Amino acid sequence: MFNLKFLCSLACLLCLPLLAARAQETPVAVPDSAQQPVDIAKIAAAKSKKSVYEATYLSADIFDPIATAFTGKFEFSVAADVSLWHRLFPAIEIGVMGYNQQQEDYHYTTAGGFVKVGANYNFLNYKPNRKKDHAVFAGVRYGYSFTSYQLQDAHIANNYWNETGVYSNDKRTAHFGWVEFQIGVRVQVYKQFFMGAALEIRTFGHYYQKEPYYPSTIAGFGSDANTTNFGLLYHLTYQFPTKK
């Protein structure tokens, strides 16, 4: 019993300085008859009001240009999206692609551009009193690309007839569309600068016209138009803030 009383007394003594310091830091409100009354309801309404348009984001892909050193395929894209309530983000993305395959028995080149239009939805951190504009989002886009391709100096051998030949075709252009789903995150690292990453799922691919041959790589979509392709997007983003 003695020990318990001693510990309680010691705890009270330790807390007294903290309570005194807290009392000194907290100002005491002194009524002033000359001061006009504060409309608390108006202040609360102003704090809870959400602006519709909050910011514009401009992003540049940094993953695909680095991956060029390993894959040989150059691809680069920039995107812009608009923050509405910090929940809905209409977006547009444009990009270019180039691929040059020089082998002993053929030379294949392909190049093109693409555009994606859609929107993302932010699931977290959308309250008006947030301190950072972080976002965790999912979205959908429709992609369209035009890809030119050409096969040159392809050495063809017929072992049955013991014949060989060299084949080349004229440059062709394919128009292709697909649906893309995205899941990603965007983090505010310093003032108006952000970094983010997203997983892209590209599916429902379709050509706009029938061709006897098709490109081996489609700008913005990838290879093999009849399958579902996956992609990774790492981007640097700058925010043009307008929210108050």
- Could you report the per-residue pLDDT of 69-80, keeping only the tens digit for each? 787 788 999 999
Domain of 83 in residue numbering reads as 54-241
In a domain, 225, yes or no: yes
In a domain, 85, yes or no: yes
Contacts of 38 (CB under 8 A, 6+ apart): none
DSSP class per residue in 159-225: TTTTEEEEE----EEEEEEEEEEEEEEEEEEETTEEEEEEEEEEEEEEESS--SS--SEETTTEE-T
In a domain, 46, yes or no: no
User: Considering the chain, what percentage of its residues have pLDDT values greater than 70?
Assistant: 71
In a domain, 144, yes or no: yes
Q: How many domains does the chain have?
A: 1
Q: In the prediction, which pLDDT does 62 show?
A: 93
Summarize the confidence of residues 24-53 as an average pLDDT: 55
In a domain, 140, yes or no: yes
Main-chain phi, psi angles of 162, to 5 degrees: 60, 50
In a domain, 48, yes or no: no
pLDDT digits (tens, 9 = 90+) for 79-128: 999 999 999 999 999 999 998 877 767 778 899 999 999 999 999 998 88
Q: Are 145 and 216 in contact (CB under 8 A)?
A: no
231 pLDDT above the threshold of 80: yes
